[in-house]
Amino acid sequence: MPAYVKPHVQLLQLAFPMILANITTPLLGLVDTAVMGHMDSSAMLAGASIGALILTQIYWVCGFLRMSTTGLSAQAKGQTQRAVVQATKVLWQGGVVAIALGVMLFILQAPILHIGLLLADPNAQVAVHTDAYFSVRVWGAPAALLNMVMIGWLVGQQRTKAVMTIQIVGNMLNVGLDLLFVLGFSWSVAGVALASVIAEYTMVAMALIIAFPICKNVAPQKAWFSRTARKAILSLNSNILLRNLMLQLCLAFLTFQGARYGQTAAAVNAILMQFFVLIALGLDGVAYAVEALVGEAAGSKKHHKVWRTSLRGLFWSSLFALLYACGFYLAGDVIIKQLTDIAELQNTAMAYLPLMIGLPLVGHWCFLFDGVFVGLTRAKAMRNTMILSALIYFPTWYVFRDFGNEALWYALLAFLFTRGVTLGGYFVWLSHRK
How much is the average pLDDT of 369-397? Answer: 96
Residues 219 and 311 both lie in one domain: no
pLDDT surpassing 80 at residue 433: no
Q: Answer yes or no: pTM beyond 0.85.
A: yes
Give the mean pLDDT of 320-339.
Answer: 92
- In contact, 264 and 401? CB cutoff 8 Å: no
Mean pLDDT of the 6-23 span: 92
Q: Please report whether residue 383 resides in a domain.
A: yes
220 and 312 in a single domain? The answer is no
**Average pLDDT for residues 400-427, to the nearest whole number?**
96
CB 415 within 8 A of CB 388: no
CA separation (Å) from 147 to 63, 140, 244?
11, 10, 18
Alpha-carbon span 292 to 77, nearest angstrom: 9
209 shares its domain with 343:
no
- 434: pLDDT strictly greater than 70: no
Q: Which DSSP category does 82 fall into? A: S
Higher-pLDDT residue of 429, 30: 429
* Contact between 86 and 79 (Cβ < 8 Å): yes
pLDDT greater than 90 at residue 134: yes
Residue 164 lies in a domain: yes
pLDDT bucket at 368, cuts 50 / 70 / 90 = very high
Question: Last residue of some domain: 225, 260, 277?
Answer: 225
Residue 285, in any domain of the structure: yes
Q: Averaged over 152-160, what is the pLDDT? A: 97
> Within 10 A of 404 (CB to CB), how many other CB atoms are there?
12
Q: How far apart are CA 419 and CA 285, in angstroms?
A: 19
CA 21 to each of CA 15, 47, 116, 429: distance values in angstroms, whole numbers, following the listed order? 10, 28, 30, 34
Amino acid at 197: V
Residue 328: predicted pLDDT: 95
- Count other C-beta atoms under 10 Å from residue 341's C-beta: 8
Among 144, 143, 141, CA closest to 107: 141
Q: Is the dihedral of CA 289, 292, 297, 298 positive or negative?
A: positive
**Does position 340 have pLDDT exceeding 90, yes or no?**
no
- Residue that finishes a domain, picked among 193, 225, 257: 225
What's the pLDDT score for residue 81? 75
| Residues in contact with 120: Cβ distance below 8 Å, sequence separation at least 6, in sequence order | 50, 53, 54, 130
Say if residue 261 is in the same domain as residue 296: yes
Mean pLDDT along residues 308-320: 96
At position 188, the amino acid (one-letter code) is: S
Q: Which residues contact 277 (CB under 8 A, 6 or more apart)?
A: 26
In a domain, 234, yes or no: no
- Please give the Cα distance from 81 to 243 (Å, whole number): 32
Query: Please, which residues have CB within 8 angstroms of residue 19's CB and are 6 or more apart in sequence?
Result: 281, 282, 284, 285
CA dihedral 126, 107, 237, 276 (to 10 degrees): -10
The whole-angstrom distance between residue 363's C-alpha and the CA centroid of its chain comes to: 15
The 3-class secondary structure across 139-189, one letter per residue, is HHHHHHHHHHHHHHHHHHCCCHHHHHHHHHHHHHHHHHHHHHHHHHCCCHH
Domain identity same for 215 and 266:
no
Residue 233 domain-assigned? no
Assess whether 168 and 247 both reside in one domain. no
User: Are both 17 and 135 inside the same structural domain?
Assistant: yes
Instruction: Give the model's pLDDT for residue 183.
Output: 86
Instruction: Mark whether 135 and 254 lie in a shared domain.
Output: no
How many domains does the chain fold into?
2
Is the domain of 63 the same as that of 176?
A: yes
Q: Which residues contact 25 (CB under 8 A, 6 or more apart)?
A: 167, 171
User: Does the residue 1 lie in any domain?
Assistant: no
Is the pLDDT assigned to residue 318 strictly greater than 70? Answer: yes
Residue pair 38/339 in contact by the 8 Å Cβ criterion: no
In a domain, 109, yes or no: yes
Inform me whether the pLDDT recorded for 268 exceeds 90.
no
Q: Based on the domain organization, do 381 and 431 belong to the same domain?
A: yes
Q: What is the pLDDT of residue 269?
A: 87
Q: What angle do CA 314, 319, 324 make, to 5 degrees?
A: 125
Q: Which domain holds residue 259?
A: 239-434
In which band, very low, low, confident or very high, does the pLDDT at 49 lie, cut at 50, 70 and 90? confident
Question: Using one digit for the tens of pLDDT, what is the confidence trace for 180-191?
Answer: 998 889 898 899
Of 197, 225, 253, the one marking the end of a domain is 225
Residues 260 and 321 in one domain: yes
In a shared domain, residues 205 and 257: no
Tell me which of 10-24, 265-279, 303-317, 360-374 is least confident.
265-279
Q: What is the DSSP letter of 24?
A: H
Mean pLDDT, range 374-402, rounded to an integer = 96
Question: Is 154 or 252 the better-scoring residue by pLDDT?
Answer: 154
Range scoring the smallest mean pLDDT among 235-249, 251-265, 284-298: 251-265
68 occurs within a structural domain = yes
pLDDT at 205 over 90: yes
